[in-house]
A and B are shown apart, each in its own frame.
Chain A
Amino acid sequence: MLRYIIRRLLWVVLVLVVIVAITYSIFFLLPGGGSDAIANRFAGKQPNPEIVAEVKQQFGLDKPIYVQFYIFTRNLFLGDQYGWPGLGKSFVLRAPLKQVLVERMWVTIQLAVGAAVVWLLVGIPIGILSALRPRSIWDRAAMTFALIGISMPVFFIGPLALYVFVYKWHILPGSGYSPIGEDGLWQWFNHFILPWCVLALLYAAFYARLSRANLLDVMGEDYMRTARAKGLNERQVIVKHGLRSSLTPLVTVFGLDLAGLLAGAVITETVFNLPGLGQYAVRSVFSLDLYAILDVTIIAAFFVTLANLVVDIVYAFLDPRVRYT
């Protein structure tokens, strides 16, 4: 097991290096990208060659791309003058990125974890109730809801929710971020409740479909019949034997979904004006802030690859049939 984990951690490192390489190449090959374009952009209103050259040198853009790539990757794993991990400096803020990224990640974590709580509490019970009474009115209604939920993009349902709850009914304060330490718990909750629900809708619908399908599969298994035959009542059969094996596959999906969101819920953060990582990613792309783009990309890839690892390990504990060597 330990050997397996070490091998997988080395894999994470490799993935990060490959992803930095891919991001670098996309950035420098894309029209409007590249060292000269960046330097021109940050050289002031009337850039002359000397200022551009100076900016290039300041930003470390004067070296060949592969040298830049090497320096960035080395700093990432070994740390730079601002500490470990070396995340570089923002061209826009002209300041180390670590502080900014930590602040923004905290906002994203609040958004993602809150939404995850909502979608687990809504999606899984709906799926289970549907599977217990397949083809009933409830099942049909629930599955229709789930399909609509899957087809609803955040950038439509989000403004729609703002329109109804904020501008028409005036029962919520609107978009933006209200830190829990500054304006109190109630304001914080009021600002987050809409983003949580809107972001959770898609996932709740997906989890309802998934847990229903899994439970229906399990209901036909032999061990369920055995459990009934040995005299357990229906409740015990379903809770002890049905749910455990039908919800285990959800662990995999949940780990990856949460990791994907921790890297920034780009659209939700944009719609609700939350200063998280996703919103920062979009801004950095537009402002050509190279190291910010690289950092956000790396954070995202790190969460996803790490989640893959954690999910596989957790899975080995939950499902006795799975063993790693």
Chain B
Amino acid sequence: MSQVQQTEPTLEVLAPLESGVEAVQGRTPWQLFYTRFKRDRIALFAAGVVLLLIALALLAPAFARFVVHRGPNDLNQGYTSDISVPLLGPSKIAWFGVDALGRDIFIRTLYGARTSLLIAILATGISIVVGIALGLMAGFVGGKLDTFISRLIDIVLSLPLLLLAIGIGAARIVRGQTLSLREREFVEAARATGYGNIHIMFREILPNMVASIIVVATLLIPQNILFEAALSFLAVGVPAGTPSWGGMLSDATNGALYRIAWWMLFFPGMFLVMTTLAFNLLGDGLRDALDPRAGR
């Protein structure tokens, strides 16, 4: 703590001098980011869609109880034929129609948003934490540890079916950034002031990567949404019965039911595409606003 305070007087000496020449108000990086992000109408719209989806997901039980008066797994007899073919399409009774078991697709789609968002956000959180830990260690400590972690990442990335591959990409990005940041002057300064490795890793290097980590996380979420949906589509995802968009699409393609009941395919599919698209647009917008040089 004492070392930090020692540097402050010099800053105060410099500050009045500069402001004496020209009354420029300094803007923090976050203010810069905010002004840039506010101008990006597409990203704002995407952020709105994401918030709306989160609200719908949170309110799903309320919708089930007070609006449509049925739950996601209620079997509504009379809306299907004897051989389990859904007869009721989008209508006043069921806004998005019913599936082969007579379940209400509208309320299932809302509950599906809960499943999708919860799993995607959890998975993204875990992979970001693991990615930061592995990437920081590999990039900062270097040497044998770096070789070991990098080879580990290579092996995991060549595992098929993408089981773990999606998250581990974050480790590579963190490692690359750490490699370049650890050579910068402020790290040298911190070391000269007597700080240890842990402090430098988490208090000096990590805060400088927050922008990239936010962007990586926002772009990981749609990937994880699609991944969860893909697993559920193949029936190796969430347990059967839990409403999920991938599972609903699987129901629709089962025996090509969508030939008769197009709504079984259309509504969960559109929600899936909209959600992924909104997160992708938001991620692009965040990247442009946080780091204007990248991407464009």
Contact = CB atoms under 8 A, between A and B. Distances in A.
Contacts of A19: 155, 158-159
B233 A267 contact: yes
A197 interface: no
A153 B229 contact: yes
A282 to B, nearest CB: 6
Contacts of A102: none
Given A263-B160, A266-B161, A304-B158, A216 B252 contact: no
Contacts of A300: 158-161
Contacts of A260: 160
Interface in A250-273: 260, 263-264, 266-267, 270-271
Nearest to B223: A150
Given A15-B154, A271-B253, A163 B262 contact: yes
A159 B269 CA distance: 10
Interface stretch (B6-14, B88-96, B185-193, B276-284): B276-284
Interface residues of A, number: 36
A304 B259 contact: no
A15 B253 contact: no
Contact of A160 (B155, B269, B276): B269
Given A156-B272, A159-B258, A308-B158, A150 B230 contact: no
A160 B280 contact: no
A147 B160 contact: no
B265 interface: yes
Contact of A18 (B155, B273, B277): B155
Contacts of A152: 273
Interface of A is mostly: helix
Given A151-B276, A167-B259, A304 B160 contact: yes
B258 A155 contact: no
Contacts of A271: 253
A270 B249 CA distance: 13
A305 interface: yes
A15 B265 contact: no
B65 interface: no
A172 interface: no
Interface string B237-269: 000000000100110110010110010010001
Contacts of B295: 213
B135 interface: no
Given A15-B158, A156-B249, A160-B269, A147 B258 contact: no
Contacts of B41: none
A18 B155 CA distance: 8
Contact of A156 (B222, B265, B284): B265
A151 B246 CA distance: 14
Given A148-B277, A155-B249, A159-B265, A267 B155 contact: no
A304 B252 CA distance: 33
B236 interface: yes
Nearest to A264: B160
B62 interface: no
Given A19-B158, A305-B158, A160 B277 contact: no
A301 B229 contact: no
B222 A151 contact: yes
A156 B273 contact: yes
Given A147-B281, A148-B277, A267 B262 contact: no
Contacts of B234: 266-267, 270, 282
A311 B229 CA distance: 31
25 contacts: A15-B154, A18-B155, A19-B155, A19-B158, A19-B159, A148-B277, A153-B276, A155-B229, A155-B233, A155-B249, A155-B253, A156-B272, A159-B249, A159-B252, A159-B256, A159-B265, A160-B265, A163-B258, A163-B265, A266-B234, A267-B233, A300-B159, A300-B160, A301-B160, A304-B158
Interface of B: 154-155, 157-161, 222, 226, 229-230, 233-234, 236, 246, 249-250, 252-253, 256, 258-259, 262, 265, 269, 272-273, 276-277, 280-281, 284, 295-296
Interface of A: 15, 18-19, 22, 147-148, 150-153, 155-156, 159-160, 162-163, 167, 213, 216, 260, 263-264, 266-267, 270-271, 281-282, 285, 296-297, 300-301, 304-305, 308
